[in-house]
Chains A and B, each alone.
Chain A
Amino acid sequence: MKGSFQYEWAHRLVQYGLLRSASLIVPAQRRAEWWREWRGELWQVRQSCAPAGLRSSRGEREVTAFCLGAVQDALCLRRAGRHSQAPFAAMKGTPRLCLLILGSALAVGYAIALLLPGVRAERSLWPRKVNPNLVLIQQEGSSDDSWPTISPRMFRSWEGRKQKYFDGFAFYRVIREPAETGMSLGGTAAKSAWGVARASTNLLTLLGLPVEFADPEAVPGGLPAVILSEKVWKRDFGADEHIAGLKVRLGQQMFRIAGVAPDGSLGLPGRVDIWELVPEAEAGPGGSGYVVAHLTAAGKAEMWARCVHITANGPDDSEEDFLGVSLEEWKPATISVYLFCLLLALLALPAITSVSLGEYSVNPRPTSWPQKLYRWSFLSAKIALLLPIIYFVSIDLAYGWTAFSREQAVYIQLISTFALCLFGLRWVLKDQRQRCPVCVHRVAHPAQVGQASRTFLDWNGTEMMCMGGHTLLHVPSLPTSWFGSQRWLYLDTSWNFLFAGSSRPIP
């Protein structure tokens, strides 16, 4: 009796173990229900085959056999789960999946461009162009514009006289001051030496540059205002758009940040980190500085090779020679860089891949116009999605990190756009060449056919097939005079039996 009891429990242990093991095969989301059903069924089977009080080894074996079926059931669910878990498996190689991936990449690239402060700043500050009639006046003999040559007295004397060639003057002088930031943030103050430009109040107006991110609720009076350069704003403030109102200590004096001046398009010398606008009368005292002047039409007519030679009387009526150099500099916009690189990539593309879409051999069932239109529309859609992706990715790379200067960012955009255009377009063509001309699905199952030693005597290459049963693609391993590029073999109806159940509709 005791042995029978042990035998029964041994069977029960095996049955439980079988069910538990099988349950591990079942996909996790269906496991609990599966387990519940099989435990209920096991109870029914036990009642029927090995009821309490009538235990028999045959009955237990039947129950165990029943439990063995659970493994097959679990495997069946596993297989079904694998098919349902891979919704993209059915879409693999389809034009829809390709466009979906490209569309997603475009959305991600655009979203990143919207989120990165550096890219946002670039979009908000650009395009700000310096007024084209502006010149920086330096003494004639001064070849180095990093050294200021105009004295405040000279500036004031010019400004006080009626001029034929100029209708506006602004003066600025750069001094190095220790700067402290972070007071308004409640954090620890950061100390560094900044180039502080003490400029006449009309400088930014003369340059035609508005102050960005100015505080609309700023109260006149109180602390004197300063304007950050774009470089410092990005470098030290992480391109924070809510910069206005923060306090900064320059030397011994506190200032309030009033906004940001876009310096990317300024060709002004002096490595300016921050602008302090002071009345013209106060801008003067001190050492020499720089003078920016606005040319009249007559002055513009005198300009040659971006320079204008000036002979002017100084404060003591002595004649001196000066040189006015145009501030208008060629600073490319992101879209200009992009278009330039795209053009370069299009020119370079034939060097790295064949621009042909493959040799289309004679088709016993000529492709219809809708099919041809579908194929070309797909190619156009791919290119149409790829080009903005490249643009957004390149500006994300170039301007995403605020530590880069504008010049560095332009170079990064140049390189990344060119590389992405070149290899992106190469991929577009390569992908198109591997799509069935009938259904535009990618061909699959590459098989090496032939032997390398027979390359020049016989066929040696890769064969791929359209899973819709429309075509076979032959790609030679080495292009030969008789088999230079890939060829399509259109399958007739005699091949249909191979693709029963997998034939795809023709667009």
Chain B
Amino acid sequence: MARDAKLPDTKLSHTAAMILQALDGGFVYGFSIMEMTGLPSGTVYPAMRRLERDELIRSNWEKQSIADEEQRPPRKYYKLTNAGKTTLEASRRRYPLLERLIPTGEAKSV
């Protein structure tokens, strides 16, 4: 895809970079990202829509059986795509403090 060729040069906003870093850190649904980044819902969710539109992240629904087992509504999980990982790498060079704010692998179990 033509878009992929441009990805290494993609310049993300600080917010989007934080969300990607949070996702890489294992915070994989909206509220957990909000908690990790400290960003409000009105910022996090629209940013995730844009990241999904740009194919930097993708989403999938949790199985109903798992949600039923834990007696809660199912969650929509987000995951970095390969393009998202490449972009995150570029963003880390652009925002060197990103990894310190949200260390990779902070929350591996959700």
Contacts and interface: CB of A to CB of B under 8 A. Distances in A.
B73 A76 contact: no
Contacts of A44: 29, 31-32, 72, 75
A36 B53 CA distance: 19
B14 to A, nearest CB: 18
14 contacts: A36-B74, A36-B76, A37-B76, A40-B72, A41-B30, A43-B72, A66-B34, A67-B41, A69-B40, A69-B41, A69-B44, A72-B42, A73-B41, A80-B49
A65 B40 contact: yes
Contact of A37 (B30, B40, B43, B50): B30
Smallest CB-CB A-B distances: 6 pairs: A69-B41, A69-B42, A76-B46, A72-B42, A73-B45, A40-B73
A68 interface: yes
Contact of A72 (B30, B46, B53, B73): B46
B31 A48 contact: yes
Interface in B73-95: 73-76
A405 to B, nearest CB: 60
Contact of B73 (A39, A69, A73, A77): A39
B41 A66 contact: yes
Given A76-B49, A80-B49, A41 B31 contact: yes
B99 interface: no
A491 interface: no
A49 to B, nearest CB: 10
A41 B73 CA distance: 8
B71 to A, nearest CB: 10
A40 B40 contact: no
Interface string B3-37: 00000000000000000000000000111101100
A138 to B, nearest CB: 80
Nearest to B46: A76
Interface string A47-89: 1100000000000000001111111110111001000000000
Contacts of A80: 49-50, 53
A73 B42 contact: yes
B29 to A, nearest CB: 7
Given A69-B45, A76-B49, 18 more contacts: A36-B73, A36-B74, A40-B72, A41-B29, A41-B75, A44-B31, A65-B41, A66-B41, A68-B41, A69-B40, A69-B41, A69-B43, A70-B42, A72-B45, A73-B46, A76-B45, A80-B49, A80-B53
B73 A70 contact: no
Contacts of A48: 31, 35
A458 to B, nearest CB: 45
A73 B35 CA distance: 17
A240 to B, nearest CB: 55
B49 A73 contact: yes
Interface of A: 36-37, 39-41, 43-45, 47-48, 65-73, 75-77, 80
Contacts of A70: 41-42, 45
A43 B72 CA distance: 8
Nearest to A30: B49
Contacts of A71: 42
Contacts of B49: 73, 76-77, 80
Contact of B50 (A36, A66, A76): A76
Contacts of B40: 65-66, 69
A14 to B, nearest CB: 15
Contacts of A72: 41-43, 45-46
Interface string B54-77: 000000000000000000111110
A41 B59 CA distance: 14
B68 to A, nearest CB: 13
A441 B100 CA distance: 49
A80 B45 CA distance: 13
A71 B29 CA distance: 19
A68 B41 CA distance: 8
Nearest to A39: B73
Contacts of B31: 41, 44-45, 48, 66
Most buried by A among B30, B41, B53: B41
A41 B43 CA distance: 15
Most buried by A among B34, B42, B49, B53: B42
A469 B44 CA distance: 35
A69 B29 CA distance: 15
Contacts of A43: 72-73
Given A45-B31, A73-B49, A80-B53, A40 B75 contact: yes
Nearest to B67: A40
Contacts of A66: 31, 34, 40-41
Contacts of B73: 36, 39-40, 43
Nearest to B49: A76
A47 B73 CA distance: 12
